[in-house]
Amino acid sequence: MNHSLLMSILILSPFVGFLINGLRYKKHNYLVAGTIATSAVFISFISAVFLVVDLVGLPPDSRRIAVTFFEWIRVANLSVDAGFVVDQISAIMILIITGVGSLIHLFSVGYMHHDKGVAKYFAYLNLFIFNMLLLVLGDNLLVMFVGWEGVGLCSYLLIGFWFTDETKAAAGMKAFVTNRVGDAAFLLGMFILFLTFGTLNFSELNALVPAAAETSWLGAITLGTLFLFVGATGKSAQIPLYIWLPDAMAGPTPVSALIHAATMVTAGVYMIVRLNPMFMMAPNTMMIIAIIGAATAVMAATIGMTQWDIKKVLAYSTVSQLGYMFLACGVGAFGAAMFHLMTHAFFKALMFLGSGSVIHAMHEEQDIRKMGALKKYLPITHFTFLLGWLAIIGIPPFSGFFSKDEILWMSFHSPLGHPVLWAAGALGATLTAFYMTRLMCLTFWGASRVPKGTHPHESPITMTIPLVVLGVLSVIGGWIGIPHIVSDFLGHLPNVWEEWLHPMIKEVPNMGPADASLEWALIATSVGLASVSALVAYHMYVRKPGSASRVADAMGPAYKIVYNKYFIDEAYFAAIINPLVKGSRALWYYVDVNFIDKCTYWAADVAKGGGALIRSLQNGNMQQYAMYIGIGLVVVLSILLMR
Amino acid sequence: MQSIDIFGQIGLNHYLILSALLFVTGMAGVLLRRNIIVLLMSIELMLNAVNISFIAFGKYMNQLDGQILVFFVMTIAAAEAAVGLAIAVNIFKRYKEVNIRFFEHLKG
Amino acid sequence: MLLSAIVFLPLLFALIIALWPKETSLRHLALGFSLIEFFLSLSVFQKFDPSSASLQLVEKHVWIERFGISYFMGIDGLSLWLVLLTTFLMPIIILASWKSINTRIKGFHACLFILQTAMLGTFLAIDAIFFYIFWELSLVPMYFIVGIWGGSRRIYATVKFFIYTMAGSMLMLVAMIYMMYLTQEATGQMSSNLLDFYKLKIPFIGGQFFSLQTLLFFAFALAFSIKIPLFPLHTWLPDAHVEAPTPGSVVLAGVMLKMGTYGFLRWVIPLFPEASEYWAWLFMLIGVVGIVYGALVAMVQPDVKKLVAYSSVSHMGYIILGLFSFNVFGLQGGLYQMLNHGVSTGALFILIGMIYERTHSREISKYGGLAGVLPLFTIFFFIVTLSSIAVPMTNGFVGEFLILLGTFKVMPVFAYVAVLGVILGAVYMLWMFKRVFFGEPGPLVKDDHHPLHDLNFREVTVLVPLVVMIFWMGLFPNQFLDWSKASVDHLVQNRSAYNLTIYGASATPAAPLVAEPPTPTAEPTTESTPMPEAPSPTTDTTAEPGE
Amino acid sequence: MTADIFLFWLLASVTLLSGVGVVLVSNPIYSALCLAMTMVGVSAIFATLGAYFIAGVQMIVYAGAVMVLFVMVLMLFDLKTEIATFSRGRISGAIKIAIVGLLAGLIAGTFAMTTTIAGKPETKEKAGHAAKSLGELLFTKYVFGFEALGVLLLIIAIGVVGLARSKGGTHAKH
C-alpha cells in the first residue's frame, strides 16, 4: 500500500469525522453520530495497523516510514515540513491512540446516548484523535507543537463540554491556561534548540547531539531540554503544573479515559522519549526530571488516598503514574517509560471506563461513599475493574507489574538513578496499592451504601465490550516486555519490547552489570509492599469499615492537608492568580486611566492654559493693544540702542 | 555731541526732540484717555508731531519731499478724523456714550 | 497605471456614491464597487515578481519640480499584502455594516471609500509628501465615521483620536521637510523621493540624543508609534474602538494600525539604520511591556470591545518586537502578524458588532451561556478567538512563532518576557469567552421577550472569508511569506545601507546623486545564507553552536 | 540769543504745553481748544522752518476744518466734564505711563546723542518760489500719490456719508 495514502487516511479520517459531526452539530441522534465517529477512528486504526505491519517488515535499523505532505513554514534557515513519520516510537503511540481511541468512542456511544450535544461531543473527540496523531506523528518539534496545542484545545472543549455549569467551564479554562504555561516553555525550548542546532527535525536534532554530555546548567541543551520538560509538565500534569488534571474530571468520563489517562497526558513522556538522545546529553535536566517524576508520583498518591470522588481518585492515580513515567525518563529508562505508558494506557483507560460504567449505573453519582457492594449489580464492570486494579498495583503477571518493576529497577540500578528515587517509587507503589484497593473496596465490595431510589444496572453492550477488550489488554499487555531476569527464570522468553525500541533509544552510559539477586530482592520488596498495603486497605475498608475514619482522625491536621490537596490550588490562587487580577485592575485603573491617560489630559491642559493665557492678552481693549505696540516699540528701540 | 550750549543754537535735533515729545504726548493720550473724541484728538497730535519731523528734515536736508509728505499726511489725517468721528457718532447714537470701553467687542 | 487605478478608484466610487440618487440600492452598489476594487487589486499578483526585492509597477510623474516632489507609486514585498488586506477587508466591512448603519448611509459609504484611498495611498506612496498627504487624509474619514456613526461618547473619542494622531504626524512632517533639505544639501536638488532619502547618510552619534539621525528617527518613530499604538501612547485606542461603529473599529484595527507598523518597516528602519539599531532595545522593551501590559489590562476589562482594543495593544507589541529584531524571522513574523491581526481582530470586531446589534450591550457581565443560544455564532467566535491567541494551524501562531524566534535570536531576555503574552493572551481571551459563552444564561441572553437569533446567511457570508483566511494563513504560510521574502531578505541584508531600485530599471542608480560612496553591493545576496547578525549579548544558548 | 532761538523756544513750549493740555484736561471742549492751540503752534513752527505754504495749509486744514469738525461733534454730543477721564487699570496705567516716558526718553536721548545731519539750513527763500517748486514736485514726481490720495478722499467722503446715514447713525430711527 502507498504509505502517503495510508498516512493521509490515518491522519485525516478522524478529521473528516470531525467535519461531518461538526456540521451536524445540531443533531441529537447518538447512534448516527457515534457510528460516524467510531468508524472514523477505526478506519484510522486499521491504516495504523497496516503501517505498523509495513514497518515491521522493514529491517530493524531502517524502520521508518516518513511522509512529507507539504512545506509548512520556510523562513531563512527555518524550514518546517508538514512531515509525518512512523517509527518504532510513534508506531506504539498510533496503535494506542487509535486502538484505545476506538474503544473509547465505542464506549461513548452508550455513555452519551442521552446527551443533547452528542454530535458535538463526537466531533470534539475525533478532533482530539486528529490532533493527537499530529502530535505523535510529526517529524519535527513544530508539527508536534501543533498537535500539542491542538490536544490541549480539544481537552479544553471536552472538559467544558457541559458548559452551562460554571465550574466545568472554569475547569476547562484552567486546563487550557495551565497547559499554555507549559506550551510557552515548550516554545522557548524550541527556540533554544533551533538556534543551537538550526533545525527542529527530530532525526536531525538527535543526529546533531554532541557526543559529550553537557554539565553546565545554562548550556543550550540543558536549558532547551529543561524548557521542553516544563512544557511536558504542563501537558503531562507533573509538579508544578499538575493542578489542572483533577479538575479536568469535570468532563464526560470517556473523555477522562481517553484524554486524561490514556493519550494526551502521556504526550510529555512521548516527547522526551522522542528526543531521548538530546535529553541524555543533559544530565542536569535528567536529574530534574527524575526528581519531579518521583515527587509527583508520591505526592499525587498521597492525595489519591483521601479523595472521595471516584474520578478524582483515578485522576490523582494518573498523575502519580505519569510521575513514574517521568521517573523512568529521568533515569534513562526510556523504554520502560514507553512501556509503562502503554500498560498504563490500557489499565487506566479501563478503570476510567469502568468508573464511567459505575457512574452511569449510579445515575451520575461519583461519590464513593454512596456506593459499595456494586459487585453484584455490575458483574462485568467489576471483573474488568478488578483486572485493572491488579495491573496498577503491580501484581505479577498483570501488565502493570512488568512496566513498574522495570522502572523501579532502573531507578535503582541506572547510573542516573539513586536509591532515594527507588525508595520514592516503591513508596508510591505502596500508596498506589492502598488507594486503589480502597477504591475497589468502597465501590464494589463491602456493605452497600447506595441511597434508596437508585437502582444500579449493568451498562449496555457498547460499553462493556471496550471494558472487556481493555481488561484483556491489561492482563497480557505486559507480556511483550518481560524483564530479562524474569524471562531467564521462565525460560528465555523474548523481550519483544526492548528489541523493538532498541534502535531509537540511546543507552545509558556506564550501565553496570545487573546483579540478579539484588533485582529479585527489589522485585520482591515492591510486590510485597504493594500486597501488604492492599491487604491493609482491604482490612480497613471492608473488614472494619470504621477504622479508616479513626485513622484519619488520628492523623489530624496532616490528613486535612492531604485531603485538601496540600492547598496547592489555594496557594496558586493566593500567590499568582488573585494578585494578577487585582494587580491588573490596579494597573488599568491607576496606571492606564489615571496616569497615562491623565498625562494626555495634562498635555491638553497645558495647551489650553497657554491658549487662555494668550487669549487674555486679546481682551478687546484697544488701548491695551496700543500698549502692546508701545511695549514692542520700547523693546525694539532699546535693543537697537544697546548695540 | 556738537555743543554744550543747547540753548544758544537751534539745530535739527531740537525740532526732532520737540517732535518726539509731542508724539509721546499724543501717544499718552491715546493710551490713557477714555473719551473717544479726545482719543482722536491725540492721534491728530501724533500726526502733527510727525509732520514737524518731516518739515525739519526737509529744511535741514534741503529737500522739498518732506513737505510733500506732510501734505499727504495732512490729507489723510483729515480723512481719518472724518471717518473716526463718524464712527464715534455712530457709537454715541447706539450707547449714548463716547467711552472707549464700548469698543471692546474685539475680544479673542 | 495599475497602482494609480487601485488607489484612486475608491475615490471615484466615493464620488459616485455621493451623487447616487437612490438610497435603497446604495449598499449593493458599494458592495459591488468594493468587490471590483478587490479583484483589481488581485491582478497585482499577475504583474508582481516575487523574486525581486525592487520596487515594482512604478509610476512616477514630477509634480513640483522645484522641491523635487513627485507623484511616485510603487509596490514591493513589504506593502503587497497590506494593500491586499485593505481591499480584502472592505467588502467584508460593507457587508457587515449592512444592517447596523442606518443613518446617512450615503455619507458613510463615501467615507469608507475615501478612507480606502487614503490607506492604499499610504501603503503605496514612495514620495514623502504624498505619503504624508495620504497619511493625514486617512484621519478625516475616520474622524467622521467615529464622530457621526459612533456611540454615546463619540465626539470625545474622535477628537482624542484625531488630535493624538495629528500631534505625532506633525513632527513627522517636520522631519520629512528636513530630510528634503538634506537631499538638497547632498545633491543640490531637493527631493522628497523616498529612494533619494535612502541614499542619504545621516550622521549618527551614539548616546547623544540631540544628534541629527536620532532626532529624525524619533520624529518619525513617534508618529508611527502613536498610530500603532505603542504602550504609553495607546490610550486613544480603547476610546476610539469603543465609540466607533463596527466598520470603523474593523478598519481601525484591521488596517489603520498597520499604517504605523508599515511606517516603521518602510521608513524608520531603512532610513535610520544606526539609530534604529542603537535604540532597538528601547522599542523592544516598549514592545514587550506593551505585550504584557496590554494583556493584563485587557484581562480586567468589563467591555468586550475594550478588551479587544487592549488586546490589539498587546498584539502590536509583538509586531514591533519582531520588526526591531532585525532578522528575517522577526521581520517576516512582524509582517505576517500585521496581516493576522488585521484578519482576526477585524473578525472579532465584526462578531462583537453582530452580538451588539442583537443585545445592544457589550458588557461581559451581562452575558453568559451564549453558547447554548447561538451555537453558530459561538463556533465562529471560538475560531477567531483561537486565531487571536495564536493556536497552531491558525494564522496567529505562525506570526507569533516567527516573531518570538526572531526576538530570541537577538535578545533572549525579551523573548522570555514576551512568551508571558502567549499565556496571558489565552487567559484574557478564554476568560472572556467563558464569561460570555459559558455558564448560566445571563440577563441579556435569557430575555424571553427578545429571543436571540443565530447568524443569518449574510452574517455567515461575512465571516466565512475571514475564517477561511485564518486557516489558510495558518496552514500554508509559505504562500504568503514567499511574496514578501525577497524584500525582507533585502532589507535584512542591506539594512545599514538600504537602497531600493526600481524594477526593470538598470541596477545602478540613474545619476550619481549622492556625494558619499555608493552602497556596497558586495553583500551576499543569496537567500539561504544566514543574516549577518549582531552577536546576541546575553545568550547562553550559543555556547555550543551546532550548525 | 537771537530772535530765531527765542521764537523756537517760545513756540516749542506753547505747542508742547497745549499738547499736554489736550491729554490732561478733563473737559473735551477744553481739550479741543488746547488742540487748536497746538495746531497753531505747529503751524508757526512750520513757518519758522521756512515752509510757509505748509504752514498755511496747516492753519486752514487743521486749525480750521478738522478742529471745526471736532468741535461740531462735541457740540452735538453735548458733553460735559467727564467723571473719569482716564481709562481703568492701575497696573496697565502705570505701564502705559512708563512706556510713554521710556519712549520719550529713548527717542530724545537718541536724537540728543547723535550728530546732526551735515549741512546748514539754506538762506530763506522766497515763499512764492517754495510754493511753486512744491507744486511742481507734487504734480511731477508725486503725481501718482497725489491722485491716489484724491481717490482715497473720495472714497472716504462716500464712506463717511454712508456711515452717517446707516442705521444707528444720527438720523436713524429707533
Q: What confidence score (pLDDT) does residue C68 get?
A: 87
Rounded Cα–Cα distance for residues C257 and C236 (Å): 12
Q: Please, which residues 8-37 of chain B have a Cβ atom closer than 8 Å to chain A?
A: 27, 30-32
CB C231 within 8 A of CB C317: yes
At A80 the three-state DSSP class reads: strand
As a residue count, chain D comes to 174
The sign of the CA dihedral D116, D121, D127, D132 is negative
> Among C33, C36, C38, C79, which residue's Cα sits nearest to residue C55?
C79
Residue A76 lies in a domain: no
Rounded Cα–Cα distance for residues A471 and A552 (Å): 33
Answer yes or no: do D102 and A641 touch at CB < 8 A.
Answer: no
Which of A24-28, A532-536, A623-627, D22-26 is the least confident region? A24-28
Candidates D15, D114, D133; nearest CB to B64: D133
Answer yes or no: do D142 and B60 touch at CB < 8 A.
Answer: no
Rounded Cα–Cα distance for residues A57 and A86 (Å): 13
Q: Residue A235: how many CB atoms within 10 A of its CB?
A: 29
Express each pLDDT in C399-441 by its tens digit: 999 999 999 999 999 999 999 999 999 999 999 999 999 988 8
Answer yes or no: do D100 and A630 touch at CB < 8 A.
Answer: yes
> Among C415, C403, C418, which residue's Cα sits nearest to residue C330?
C403
| H-helix or E-strand spanning residue A82 | strand A78-87
Q: Which residue of D has its CA nearest to A624?
A: D92
Rounded Cα–Cα distance for residues A471 and C53 (Å): 64
**Residues A559, A470 share a domain:** yes
CA distance D79 to chain A (A): 22
Express each pLDDT in B8-47 by its tens digit: 677 888 888 899 999 999 999 988 888 888 888 999 999 9
Answer yes or no: do A220 and C375 touch at CB < 8 A.
Answer: no
Express each pLDDT in C302-321 by its tens digit: 999 999 999 999 999 999 99
pLDDT surpassing 80 at residue A8: yes
* The C-alpha cell that represents C316 in the structure block: 502590536
Q: Which residue of B has its CA nearest to D56?
A: B71
**Residues A622, A475 share a domain:** no
Candidates C392, C402, C427; nearest CB to A145: C392
Residue A68 lies in a domain: no
Candidates A623, A631, A633; nearest CB to D87: A623
Q: Which residue of B has its CA nearest to D139?
A: B68
Q: Which residues face C127 on adjacent strands?
A: C193
Rounded Cα–Cα distance for residues A612 and A621 (Å): 16
Q: Which residues face B46 on adjacent strands?
A: none
Chains B, D: CB pairs < 8 Å? 233
How many independent structural domains does chain A possess? Answer: 3
Sorted by sequence, the CB contacts under 8 Å of residue A6 that are 6+ apart come out as A47, A50, A51, A54
CB C98 within 8 A of CB C263: no
Domain ranges of chain B: 12-99
* The C-alpha cell that represents C304 in the structure block: 468586550
Whether a cis peptide bond, with omega within 30° of 0, leads into A397 is yes
> Among D94, D63, D35, which residue's Cα sits nearest to residue B22?
D35
Q: What confidence score (pLDDT) does residue D128 get?
A: 54
Domain ranges of chain D: 1-85
Q: State the residue for C-alpha cell 521581520.
A: C331
Mean pLDDT computed over A242-261: 89
Rounded Cα–Cα distance for residues A441 and A371 (Å): 10
Q: What confidence score (pLDDT) does residue C517 get?
A: 42
CA distance D96 to chain B (A): 7
Q: Give buried/exposed letters for C167-193 (b at 16+ CB in 10 A, else e).
A: bbbebbbebbbebbebbeebbeebbbb
Q: Where are the alpha helices (DSSP H) in C43-138?
A: 44-47, 77-96, 105-124, 128-137
ipTM confidence: 0.80
Q: Residue D97: how many CB atoms within 10 A of its CB?
A: 13
Residue C231 lies in a domain: no
Question: How many CA within 13 A on the CB side of residue A525?
Answer: 15
CA distance B8 to chain D (A): 6
Residue C452 lies in a domain: yes
Task: Tell me the residue range of the domain where C329 lies.
Answer: 282-495
Rounded Cα–Cα distance for residues D110 and D83 (Å): 38
Rounded Cα–Cα distance for residues C80 and D46 (Å): 82
Candidates A615, A622, A630; nearest CB to B27: A630
Mean pLDDT computed over A157-178: 90
Rounded Cα–Cα distance for residues C466 and C387 (Å): 11
**Residues A485, A411 share a domain:** yes
Rounded Cα–Cα distance for residues A93 and C71 (Å): 62
Phi, psi dihedral angles at C60 (to 5 degrees): -145, 125
As a residue count, chain A comes to 643
Residue A73 lies in a domain: no
Confidence of residue D166 (pLDDT cuts 50, 70, 90): low
Rounded Cα–Cα distance for residues B19 and A340 (Å): 115
pLDDT over 90, % of chain B: 18
> Among C205, C220, C213, which residue's Cα sits nearest to residue C182?
C213
Residue C505 lies in a domain: no
**Which of A195, A205, A206, A605 would best serve as a mutation to test chain C binding (most C beta carbons within 10 A)?**
A195
User: Which residues of chain A have a CB within 8 Å of the CB of C332?
Assistant: 75
Task: Tell me the residue range of the domain where A356 lies.
Answer: 140-563
**Residues A35, A170 share a domain:** no
Rounded Cα–Cα distance for residues D44 and D35 (Å): 14
**Residues A120, A145 share a domain:** no
User: Which residues of chain D have a CB within 8 Å of the CB of B98?
Assistant: 77, 79
DSSP state of C535: P
Of the three residues A528, A563, A598, the one that is the final residue of a domain is A563
Q: Please, which residues 261-280 of chain A have a Cβ atom closer than 8 Å to chain B?
A: none
Q: What confidence score (pLDDT) does residue B8 get?
A: 67
> Among B97, B36, B32, B74, which residue's Cα sits nearest to residue D20?
B32
Q: Residue A611: how many CB atoms within 10 A of its CB?
A: 11
Distance of CA A589 to the CA centre of its chain: 38
Task: Using a CB–CB cutoff of 8 Å, tell me whether B103 touches chain A.
Answer: yes
The sign of the CA dihedral A451, A453, A456, A461 is negative
Residue C300 lies in a domain: yes
Please give the biggest Cα pair distance in chain C: 77
Rounded Cα–Cα distance for residues A79 and C338 (Å): 22
Express each pLDDT in A432-487 by its tens digit: 999 999 999 888 888 888 888 778 888 888 888 899 999 999 988 888 888 777 77
Q: Does domain B12-99 have CATH number 1.10.287.3510?
A: yes
Phi, psi dihedral angles at A556 (to 5 degrees): 60, -125
DSSP state of C303: B
How many independent structural domains does chain C possess? Answer: 1
Q: Residue A189: how many CB atoms within 10 A of its CB?
A: 24
CA distance A9 to chain C (A): 19
Rounded Cα–Cα distance for residues A276 and A508 (Å): 10
What CATH number was assigned to the domain covering residues D1-85? 1.20.120.1200
Answer yes or no: do D103 and A638 touch at CB < 8 A.
Answer: no
Looking at residue A446, its amino acid is G
List chain C residues with pLDDT less than 70.
505-547
Q: What pTM, to 2 d.p., does this model score?
A: 0.84
Residue C337 lies in a domain: yes
Answer yes or no: do B30 and A623 touch at CB < 8 A.
Answer: yes
Distances (CA, A) of A412 to A282, A328, A419, A523, B85: 20, 11, 5, 11, 117
Residue C103 lies in a domain: no
User: Which residues of chain A have a CB within 8 Å of the CB of C375?
Assistant: 25-26
User: Which residues of chain D have a CB within 8 Å of the CB of B56?
Assistant: 49
Question: How many CA within 13 A on the CB side of residue A255?
Answer: 30
Distances (CA, A) of A387 to A368, A468, A498: 19, 10, 25
Q: State the residue for C-alpha cell 464506549.
A: A107
Contact flag for D and A (3+ C-beta pairs < 8 Å)? yes
Ramachandran bin of C466, using left for φ above 0, alpha for ψ from -120 to 50, beta for the remaining angles: alpha
The sign of the CA dihedral A128, A133, A134, A136 is positive
Residue A71 lies in a domain: no
Distances (CA, A) of C3 to C10, C69, C91, C338, C532: 12, 18, 19, 21, 34
Q: Residue D110: how many CB atoms within 10 A of its CB?
A: 16
Q: What confidence score (pLDDT) does residue B96 get?
A: 75
